[in-house]
Amino acid sequence: MRCYANQLSSELNKELKPFYLVFGEEPFQEAQCVQQIRDVAKQQGFDEVIKFTLMQGFDWQEIIAQYQSMSLFSARTIIELDLNQQKPGVIGSNTFKKVVELVNPDTILIIKGAKASQEVQRGAWFKALDKLGVFVPCYPLTGSHVKRWLDDQCQRLSLNMQNDAKVSLINATEGNLLACFQELEKLSLLHGNALITQQLVMQGLLNQAKFDIFDLSDALLNGHAEQAIKVLNKLASDNTEVVSILWAITKELNTLISVQLGLLNGEPIANLFKQKAIWKNQQGPVQNAINRLNMHTLEQINSDVALFDASYKQGNLIAPYQALAHICIKFCQPLNIPMPCHAVN
């Protein structure tokens, strides 16, 4: 069953399904949807969360084993599988079909992935999961959809924001939902339910640190390695959350991969900019990155990002900012040394 991101809350209040397919090109929406599922499931006794990330050599049998096993810590379990922008392949597809046959009321399987094309949605594994579960597509938001999303977030945070203040915030964050949400959280903490004016919003934006995550994105797209490391150093000194920095890197990487694939399929760059909701002032930097980074290089960076994500979640990174620096440099220039990723003994 298809359920759009803005409808998920209502759907979860009806009943929990055994399977959730959260697919799309908007990482913040995807993360919010997964968190909503977790929160509602926790209220119903799903206390344990087990995470897997699809990487080279992944053992699909672990999914079956975990799905069938009884938890030592909780009566009910959530299994999260991140497909890491990949397709499940034959073994993965058969695993999903097997899981449907073993449907377990005490286990919820959440599958996260890239945009689900019509080809993917026609697959037998996808149809089998979708028949008993919920498919949540997370599309990039533009125009009135961004405004509607912002209205929903203001309602959740009990923010009383003037319309011109909302417009200013949307324009300042340029469709970056994570940045927009972070500003809303700051406004909520600072002003509670008081009226939020355009002046208050602009004052908050002007008071930001000299460098922020937007500066990092610009440096990566334009291939400015020295500037990227300078911004990363500032973010590290400000104790910026690693996951926020990784989100920004992943967002730009996914955009570049998507555009490169479109170009390889013969689509005009102007059409791709429109399809991917790339704002006019970002089209130049994205074009610079596309000219500099071929698909092979982007796939290498994607592998490093996946390794970083999995290692960080497992607590196996002793120097996460150093590993992020490695990824940033790779955006800007060739780098043939492995990413610093050391296991903690």
Between CA 337 and CA 39 the distance in angstroms is 41
Could you tell me which residues come within 8 angstroms of residue 266 by beta carbon, excluding any fewer than 6 positions away? none
3-state secondary structure 186-210: HHHHHHCCCEECHHHHHHHHHCCCC
pTM score, whole prediction = 0.61
CATH fold of 144-206, please? Answer: Helicase, Ruva Protein; domain 3 (1.10.8)
Could you tell me which residues come within 8 angstroms of residue 211 by beta carbon, excluding any fewer than 6 positions away? 230, 231, 234, 235
**Using the 8-state DSSP alphabet, how is residue 147 labeled?**
H
CA angle centred on 47, ends 45 and 53, rounded to 5°: 130
Between CA 301 and CA 146 the distance in angstroms is 29
pLDDT at 207: 54
pLDDT tens for 320-336 read 999 999 999 999 998 88
Residues 67 and 107 sit within 8 Å (Cβ to Cβ): yes
**Using the 8-state DSSP alphabet, how is residue 2 labeled?**
B
pLDDT at 318: 81
Architecture of domain 213-332: Up-down Bundle (1.20)
The DSSP bridge partners found for residue 220 are none
Q: How many CB atoms lie within 10 A of CB 174?
A: 16
What CATH number does the domain located at 5-138 have?
A: 3.40.50.300
The DSSP bridge partners found for residue 29 are none
Domain ranges of the chain: 5-138, 144-206, 213-332
pLDDT tens for 8-49 read 989 999 999 999 999 988 888 898 999 999 999 999 999 889
